[in-house]
Amino acid sequence: MNKEIWYFEEVDLYEILCPYKYNDHLKTHPLNCYNKQDFLFMEGDLVREIFLVAEGRVKVGYYDNEGNEQVLAFLGRGEILGEKAIFGERRHREFAQAVVDRTMICKLNVDKARELARDYVPFSLTLTKRFGERMQRLERRLQILLFKDARQRLVEFLKDLCRDIGTPYRTGTRILLDITQSDIAALIGASRKTVSLLFTDLEEAGLVKFYGRKEIYVPNVEALV
């Protein structure tokens, strides 16, 4: 199994690139705006550019042999897509699709990205660190998918959200989501109905509280089991 499973990362390459030639690049290559469900690229497309997420969120996935969508990741501000082209990958192995309106993307051609990786140390070091962290996350998440039941997979996913995108609120952590329960189900390998029932159980147990569809409050992350 060679696909990444799920991740919400905030490796802010946008901030790293701003002091360098990236600012000059923006003057001649304005940001591209994508609305919800617009594709940045599809599986099999030639990799001509590196994509940097400036605002919004992008879903990364693939279609299995039965034509079912398999979601691998949701990427936010500062994340990049297609970076393997720097190391010679010629075609995209996944698709990338905007999940919120006005998702802003900066495109760097592959030669420009290779120049940055060669000449700008913070960029190349961050790429190296990102690959290492991704492998660690992949190993952990494969173990979770293989050895945990659906409830524990959801609990571990919520803990990851608290760590990666959560903000302190009252005595706990608040999570603002821009994905659906169907997306969460796809990420943890469960059905939409199962995720809904598990969220209900967690809320009745006082482990989470929902404010509308987009906000989750976790009173005590350590108690989330």
Between the alpha carbon of residue 77 and those of residues 16, 83, 117, the distances in Å are 12, 15, 20
CATH topology assigned to domain 13-142: Jelly Rolls (2.60.120)
Query: What does the pLDDT average to over 91-109?
Result: 90
Does the fold of domain 148-223 match that of domain 13-142? no
pLDDT score, position 26: 56
Largest CA-CA distance found in the chain, in angstroms, rounded: 54
> How much is the average pLDDT of 111-133?
78
Per-residue pLDDT at 108: 82
Question: For the sheet containing 32-34, what is the strand order?
Answer: 32-34, 103-109, 49-55, 80-81
pLDDT at residue 28, rounded to an integer: 60
**Between 209 and 129, the higher pLDDT residue:** 209
Decide: pTM greater than 0.75. no
- The 10 Å Cβ neighbour count of residue 32 is 15
Other Cβ atoms within 10 Å of 118 Cβ, number: 11
pLDDT number for residue 129: 77
Per-residue tokens: 134: 């991704």
Average pLDDT along the chain:
82
| CA count, 13 A, side-chain hemisphere, 62 | 14
State the DSSP string of 15-75.
HHHTTTTHHHHHHHSPPEEE-TT-EEE-TT-B--EEEEEEES-EEEEEE-TTS-EEEEEEE
Please report the pLDDT score of residue 8 as a whole number. 45
pLDDT of residue 150: 94
Q: Is the pLDDT of residue 16 over 50?
A: yes
Model confidence over 192-221: pLDDT tens digits?
999 999 999 999 999 999 988 789 999 999
Q: What percent of the chain has pLDDT over 90?
A: 32
Two structure tokens written together for 42: 């599809």
Q: Which fold, 148-223?
A: Arc Repressor Mutant, subunit A (1.10.10)
Lowest mean pLDDT among 50-54, 94-98, 99-103, 130-134: 130-134
Which stretch of 2-11, 85-94, 144-153 has the lowest confidence by average pLDDT? 2-11
CA 3 to CA 10: how far, in whole Å? 20
Least confident range from 53-62, 127-136, 168-177: namely 127-136
- pLDDT tens digit sequence for 146-185: 888 999 999 999 998 898 788 998 889 999 887 888 888 8
Which pLDDT belongs to residue 221?
92
Spell out the domain ranges in the chain.
13-142, 148-223
Looking at residue 12, its pLDDT comes to 54
